[in-house]
Chain A
Amino acid sequence: MGFLQYLINGISIGSVYAIIALGYTMVYGIAKMLNFAHGDVIMVGAYMSFCVTNYLGLPAVVGILVAMVVCTVLGIIIEGLAYKPLRGASSLAVLITAIGVSYFLQNAAQLIWGSAPKNFTSIVTFAPIKLFGGQLTITGEVIITILASVVIMVALTLFTGKTRMGKAMRAVSEDRAAAQLMGINVNQTISMTFAIGSALAAIAGVLLCSTVPTLQPTTGSMPGIRAFTAAVFGGIGSIPGAMLGGILLGIIETMTKAYLSTQFSDAIVFLVLIVVLLVKPAGLMGKVVQEKV
């Protein structure tokens, strides 16, 4: 029974990683930049939801909506102010800017909300499901998180595959210059990508903090880095890859802790990742792009 419980725990945290990784992979796939501030947008989303539900006493749904709206606007502002002016600059400059934005958000959050950790009240209210006479517990958070990540993945796949905007995104992703020549507004498309990525971050923030209640200005950074690892593991740029990478990372992490050692779990997890990337450098579902000369 222990094994199943660990598996569920793993899928649960893995789904959270997956949702965060979806945001990373979207932005990377289309804008070709690593948005290291993504984890901190998650934290802002969680704080917004916390404020709406705890200070204003409104229902959790309103909290999520407010968090999504605020994060979307924040994402567009960050993109417009920090990344857009660097569109022609080297990718290293954008990367450093993203790290700067990440620190800015963390410190701003600390000034606004203080650094003392807050305890996030879970948005899920229904009771956990007990199986096998209470030996196996599936909490509401687990179910909601898994459902949300699947829905988001399917919606994103449909969006990029079927809609005009989505097709524009894929075009920009494949060849920015050619897309521009075909009359696609590249800047607008990239802004749109950030908007979607940030809205996802808000959802991820609420789900992350429902699973793990401690909310502080640094809450988003480590899960953000892990989700980024998951995105690379699954093949960065690939939407199903991010999903697969996130869930696998969650399961590997939990199983390592459960059966090998909690003391060395990170070392083992990242060793597995290194081995996988050595065998499949583009990640599990990444496309190998051949350089044409």
Chain B
Amino acid sequence: MKKLFALLMAALMVVTMFAGCGSAETPATDAAGGEAPATDAAPTAGTIKIGSSGPLTNDYAVYGKAVEYGLTLAFEEINALGGLQFELRVEDDEADAEMAVNAYNTLMDWGMQIMAGPTTSGSAAAAAAECAADGVFMLTPSASDAAVITAGDNVFQICFTDPNQGVGSADFISSHNLATKVGVIYDSSNPYSVGIYTKFMEQAAVVGLEVVAEEAFTADNKADLSTQVTKCQEAGCDLVFLPIYAAEAAQVLTCADKIDYNPAFFGCDGLDGILATEGFDPALAEGVMLLTPFDASSSDPQTQEFVANYTAKFGLEPNQFAADAYDVAYAIYQACTAAGVTADMSAEEICETMIAQFTSMSFDGLTGDGMTWAADGAVSKLPMAVKIENGVYVGVE
């Protein structure tokens, strides 16, 4: 009896192990095996191998999955066009720098020619160093830490850098006269959050915003944020800036609601997805403003088509991470087509041509029109603010 149980448990563990692997590898088969290319198609035989990594499991899987889905959808569409053919493989890095290097090595063994990731900043910084050393072109959809692109000339971002968001937020709050006294609650254990916070503070001093409370938490003590919220209330903040992720922001909003504290809340792209949190009462997020380059409810036809296809394929509405990833795929496609990249080129050769393309081209995507890249790899596009009203995003001017 005991043995039977032990066997059962062992079997269960094996199954869970494989289930984990399965989800990580689906997109590879999807993108490779699906959509037979048109007959006249590919100018060269073979496919260009695109690698990516992100937290497909663990705390931030909601972002990693979105990137995986966005890339999968875009490359399927691109392959169906019949021109250059791409093969995508996404590895799980659990938003951990060490795992990201492992994922990178797995992808290199597979023969990756372009890196379209990783999803999160810590992982991206680790992978960027590897890409720079090996001469592999890297374009991250969502790792917004400014440190990521300092790794090398071949590392690019399609999302705003964190400093950019911090500066943008301070400017927006000040130019729209949203607050007299500002409080900030940020995650001091997270480079994304700290990056925005630091620049926000600098810019706040420049534009004359009065920041009266700066409260931090870490991944280890985020179980209780009520003190941070109470301190903002005590300090009389009429706007609380939240450069954090949606899960923690939901906690802040709930705490504030419990103690009847109703300031304006302002966040960055990490807040995107708060409305999709299961069980979250959208009434709590009423009036919350956030800077995001993507608005799924936008009337722009390109966005609408993307939202419809994405929803049909994956059964959920895309967030900004999915849109960023989708843009990454098309930006790579545009650059490869323009430069005449072929599948038999080495990663280093592709890297050279891609750097030349990206620093000279202009790209229109879901997350902005006329995007251009500086030589350091930072993107230039306009930030856009939205406000949550009746559970949906509404553009703010």
- 8 Å CB contact of B220 from A104, A120, A222, A258: A222
Q: Is the CB of B260 within 8 A of A121?
A: no
- A128 interface residue, CB < 8 Å from B? yes
Question: How many residues of A are in contact with the other chain, CB < 8 A?
Answer: 52
Q: A81-B5, A115-B57, A119-B250 are in contact. Are A226 and B223 (CB under 8 A)?
A: yes
28 contacts between A and B (CB under 8 A): A9-B226, A12-B226, A13-B226, A81-B5, A85-B2, A104-B16, A107-B57, A110-B57, A111-B19, A117-B250, A119-B250, A119-B254, A119-B279, A119-B280, A119-B281, A120-B279, A128-B258, A128-B260, A130-B260, A213-B250, A214-B251, A253-B221, A257-B215, A257-B228, A262-B216, A262-B228, A266-B218, A266-B220
Q: Is the CB of B16 within 8 A of A258?
A: no
Q: Is the CB of B277 within 8 A of A119?
A: yes
Q: Is the CB of A216 within 8 A of B247?
A: yes
Q: Mark B54-74, 1 if CB is under 8 A from A, else 0.
A: 010111111000000000000
Q: Is the CB of B61 within 8 A of A263?
A: no
- B217 interface residue, CB < 8 Å from A? yes
Tell me the smallest distance from the CB of B197 to a CB of chain A, in Å: 11
Q: Is the CB of A115 within 8 A of B59?
A: yes
Tell me the smallest distance from the CB of B255 to a CB of chain A, in Å: 9
Q: Is the CB of A262 within 8 A of B231?
A: yes
Q: Is the CB of A117 within 8 A of B227?
A: no
- Beyond the given A9-B224, A10-B227, A257-B231, could you list 12 further A-B residue pairs with CB under 8 A, ordered by the A residue number? A2-B230, A9-B227, A108-B16, A114-B61, A117-B277, A213-B279, A214-B250, A216-B59, A253-B224, A254-B226, A258-B231, A262-B215
Q: Mark A250-266, 1 if CB is under 8 A from B, else 0.
A: 10011001100011011
Q: Is the CB of B277 within 8 A of A118?
A: yes
Q: Is the CB of B254 within 8 A of A213?
A: yes
- A28 interface residue, CB < 8 Å from B? no
Tell me the smallest distance from the CB of A20 to a CB of chain B, in Å: 11
Q: Is the CB of B251 within 8 A of A213?
A: yes
* Cβ < 8 Å to B, chain A residues 111-151: 111, 114-121, 128, 130, 134, 137, 139, 141
A contact face: mostly helix, strand, loop, or mixed:
helix
- A212 interface residue, CB < 8 Å from B? yes
Q: A214-B248, A218-B58, A265-B221 are in contact. Are A116 and B277 (CB under 8 A)?
A: yes
Q: A50 vs B279: C-alpha distance in the bound complex, in angstroms?
A: 9
- Give chain B's interface residue range (CB within 8 Å of chain A): 35 or more
B9 contacts which chain A residues (CB < 8 A)?
Answer: 81
- B13 interface residue, CB < 8 Å from A? yes
A-binding residues in B (CB < 8 A): 2, 5-6, 9, 13, 16, 19-20, 55, 57-62, 188, 215-228, 230-231, 234, 246-248, 250-251, 254, 258-260, 276-281
Q: A115-B62, A213-B250 are in contact. Are A54 and B13 (CB under 8 A)?
A: no
Q: A130 vs B362: C-alpha distance in the bound complex, in angstroms?
A: 57
Q: A139 vs B20: C-alpha distance in the bound complex, in angstroms?
A: 40
Q: A111 vs B216: C-alpha distance in the bound complex, in angstroms?
A: 31
Q: Is the CB of B278 within 8 A of A119?
A: yes
Q: A227 vs B281: C-alpha distance in the bound complex, in angstroms?
A: 29
Q: A119-B277, A258-B227, A263-B188 are in contact. Are A137 and B251 (CB under 8 A)?
A: no
Q: Is the CB of B230 within 8 A of A9?
A: yes
Most central of B16, B57, B218, B227 by chain A CB within 10 Å: B227
